[in-house]
Amino acid sequence: MSEDGFHVHGPHDHELEHATQGGNDSHKSGGMINQIAMFTAIIATIGAIFSYMGGATQANAGLFKNNAALKKAEASNQWNYYQAKSTKQALAELARDLAPEASKANYQGKIDRYEKEKGDIKVAAEKLEGESTEWDHQSDEQMHQHHRWAQATTVLQVAIALAAIALLTKKKWLEYAMFGVGGIGLVVGVLAGMHI
């Protein structure tokens, strides 16, 4: 202030006055920066967890598919064994039909034994096929869940990209979009966690 009451403001004086009165845009953008930084840190952490879960479910799907293939191979072996017994039974029936009466009872005993063995083998093969189908089903469920985790992670990555753009442009609508997309990513992650 001069001696006669005349005061000239410098550019920095004006900024300080606005800052103390809460009217400074840089303080508003500082709040926006802090908000976006906190959002980004939280979403990045959640995204890392979702990514881990996606990898785990993908690994499980592979293991379950492998178990299904093993059970399918075991079932195939049982069906081959069943077929071998059927062939032996057919040969025994042919031998019974061609054999003299005194030998027919011997062949009939073999035929009856083969029939019983085939029944046991068939039960084992069908059980193994059922187990294979169950492992396939579990693998499919894990792959579905993996896709959900991957979708959630991708949406959260888009939210982080929007956060960066919002910081650079200082556009409020991008900040709202960032929060909206982040919310969608969280919802998809919850759906993945619920196996939906």
User: For residue 196, what pLDDT is reported?
Assistant: 87
CA distance 108 to 79: 23
Instruction: Tell me: pLDDT of 116 over 60.
Output: yes
Q: CA-CA distance, 141 to 70, in Å (whole number)?
A: 19
DSSP per position, 155-192: HHHHHHHHHHHHHHH--HHHHHHHHHHHHHHHHHHHHH
Give the pLDDT of residue 40.
Answer: 92
> Does the global pTM surpass 0.75?
no
Tokens found for residue 2: 């001069």
Torsion-angle region of 170 (φ positive above 0: left; ψ -120 to 50: alpha; else: beta): left
State the pLDDT at residue 139.
96
